[in-house]
């Protein structure tokens, strides 16, 4: 919808026939956006081949668990011209669960004929419910190739959607993925009725452990002070639209994880990301106490209140790690 506001031909690929019909016939996508009328420039199709035919830019917007499969289906459809010239941008915020790989790594593995350096990630505080209403939104695009990042910036930027560039692909991907864990935690804190001090503490110390792991993985620490770091963390921990927050809230109220996920109807990236980050923390030998606490609640049956109590009772330490 955002792209269709400034570009004449935008085609969405979906595997859901009712959704495709709704977009093409009523110019609406009522499953997600009840009352919004979409641009007539926006078409939908069940055929991936049709969606990408002669596409100058391809946006990969599937959840991270689906990214490898989507790219495998895409590979035989890409023409030599598209492989050489088209822009590929992904917007997923998570790691591949089994391998803990970042999304650009997964995409590069599945599209070996495409120049991996030209892949772009778009991230930042950007709930779809607000973008579709044209509320002012800012995001960051990152690529190893400056020209590709600038091409993505030109593609997406408009009067209500401001796009910054950043060369730090690792930082932008890690920030986008890990903020979902803290969003779960913020919801959980609210579900326990622990108030705003606890939420502020969680966000601040959450950013510290996101930065700690990100830097070990090769990110620029300053990226975490930007839109894909603190920016997205704030929106996920405070917005009524946040799925991760909502899932955490239900957990804090005592609901079981399976019950929470069944009731969501939308992806909650933070759940699988907690497992991946838990393994990455071990692999990189980084302390991530909040991630550890969430891991215990989600996958080891620890009561949320006990996890918070354990976090508060950790051995005393300095705030700034170099001290």
Ligand X SMILES: O=C(CO)COP(=O)(O)O
Ligand Y SMILES: NC(=O)C1=CN([C@@H]2O[C@H](COP(=O)(O)OP(=O)(O)OC[C@H]3O[C@@H](n4cnc5c(N)ncnc54)[C@H](OP(=O)(O)O)[C@@H]3O)[C@@H](O)[C@H]2O)C=CC1
Q: Which positions touch ligand X (CB under 6 A)?
A: 93, 125-127, 180, 183, 232, 235-236, 241-244
**64 labeled part of a ligand binding site:** no
Give the CA radius of gyration of the chain: 20
Q: Mapping DSSP to helix (H, G, I), strand (E, B) and coil, where does residue 142 land?
A: strand
Q: What is the number of the residue whose Cβ is closest to ligand Y?
A: 66
**86 labeled part of a ligand binding site:** no
**162 labeled part of a ligand binding site:** no
Query: Is the Cβ of residue 52 or residue 198 nearer to ligand Y in the bound state?
Result: 52
Q: Which residues contact 307 (CB under 8 A, 6 or more apart)?
A: 293, 294, 296, 297
Which of 136, 200, 135 is CA-nearest to residue 162? Answer: 136
Instruction: Check if 279 is active-site.
Output: no
Q: Are 169 and 142 a contacting pair, CB within 8 Å?
A: yes
From the list 118, 179, 199, 272, the catalytic residue is 179
- Judged by beta carbon distances under 5 to 8 A according to partner kind, the member of ligand Y, ligand X, none in contact with residue 69 is ligand Y
Q: Are 112 and 88 a contacting pair, CB within 8 Å?
A: no
| Cβ at position 12, least distance to ligand Y in Å | 9
**300 labeled part of a ligand binding site:** no
| Cβ at position 95, least distance to ligand Y in Å | 10
Which of 179, 207, 217 is CA-nearest to residue 102? Answer: 217
Which of 128, 186, 136, 194 is CA-nearest to residue 161? Answer: 136
- Judged by beta carbon distances under 5 to 8 A according to partner kind, the member of ligand X, ligand Y, none in contact with residue 52 is none
Query: Is the Cβ of residue 126 or residue 296 nearer to ligand Y in the bound state?
Result: 126
| Cβ at position 249, least distance to ligand X in Å | 12
**279 labeled part of a ligand binding site:** no
Q: Say which DSSP state 144 is in.
A: S
- Judged by beta carbon distances under 5 to 8 A according to partner kind, the member of ligand Y, ligand X, none in contact with residue 220 is none
State the pairing for strand pair 120-123/137-143: antiparallel
Query: Is the Cβ of residue 52 or residue 230 nearer to ligand X in the bound state?
Result: 230
Query: Is the Cβ of residue 3 or residue 268 nearer to ligand X in the bound state?
Result: 268
Can you tell me the distance from the alpha carbon of 184 to that of 188, in angstroms, rounded to the nearest whole number?
A: 6
| Cβ at position 316, least distance to ligand X in Å | 32
Per-residue CA distances from 89 to 24, 86, 96, 251 (Å): 24, 10, 17, 33
- Judged by beta carbon distances under 5 to 8 A according to partner kind, the member of ligand X, ligand Y, none in contact with residue 28 is none
Residues found near ligand Y in the complex (CB under 6 A): 14-16, 61-64, 66, 69-70, 91-94, 126-128, 266-267, 269
- Judged by beta carbon distances under 5 to 8 A according to partner kind, the member of ligand X, ligand Y, none in contact with residue 16 is ligand Y
Residue 66: other Cβ atoms inside 10 A: 14
**93 labeled part of a ligand binding site:** yes
Cross-strand pairs, 13: 45
Cross-strand pairs, 122: 141
Residue 158: other Cβ atoms inside 10 A: 14
| Cβ at position 235, least distance to ligand X in Å | 5
Query: Is the Cβ of residue 259 or residue 306 nearer to ligand Y in the bound state?
Result: 259
Binding residues for substrate: 93, 243-244
- What residues act catalytically? 179
As annotated, the binding site includes 15, 93, 124, 126, 128, 179, 232, 242-244, 267, 269
């Amino acid at each position: 919808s955002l792209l269709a506001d400034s570009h004449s031909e935008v085609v969405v690929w979906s595997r859901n026939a009712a959704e495709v019909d709704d977009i093409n016939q009523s110019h609406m996508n009522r499953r997600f956006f009840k009352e919004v009328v979409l641009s007539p420039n926006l078409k939908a199709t069940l055929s991936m081949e049709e969606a990408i035919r002669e596409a100058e830019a391809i946006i990969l917007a599937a959840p991270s668990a689906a990214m490898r499969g989507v790219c495998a289906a895409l590979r035989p459809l890409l023409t030599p011209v598209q492989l050489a010239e088209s822009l590929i941008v992904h917007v997923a915020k998570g790691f591949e669960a089994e391998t803990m790989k970042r999304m650009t790594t997964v995409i590069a593995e599945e599209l070996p004929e495409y120049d991996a350096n030209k892949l772009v990630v778009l991230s930042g505080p950007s709930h779809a419910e607000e973008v579709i209403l044209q509320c002012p939104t800012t995001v960051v695009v990152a690529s190893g190739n400056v020209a590709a990042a600038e091409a993505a910036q030109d593609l997406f930027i408009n009067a209500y959607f401001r796009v910054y560039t950043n060369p730090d692909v690792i930082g932008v991907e890690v920030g986008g993925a890990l903020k979902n864990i803290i969003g779960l935690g913020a919801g959980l804190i609210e579900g326990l009725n622990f108030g705003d001090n606890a939420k502020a503490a969680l966000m601040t110390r959450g950013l510290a452990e996101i930065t700690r792991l990100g830097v070990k993985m090769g990110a620029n620490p300053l990226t975490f002070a930007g839109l894909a770091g603190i920016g997205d963390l704030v929106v996920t921990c405070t917005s009524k639209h946040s799925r991760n927050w909502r899932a955490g809230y239900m957990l804090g109220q005592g609901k079981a994880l399976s019950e929470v996920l069944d009731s969501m109807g939308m992806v909650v990236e933070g759940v699988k990301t907690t497992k991946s980050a838990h393994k990455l923390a071990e692999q990189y030998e980084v302390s991530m106490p909040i991630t550890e606490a969430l891991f215990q609640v989600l996958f080891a049956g620890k009561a949320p209140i006990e996890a918070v109590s354990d976090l508060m009772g950790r051995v005393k330490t300095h705030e700034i790690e170099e001290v």
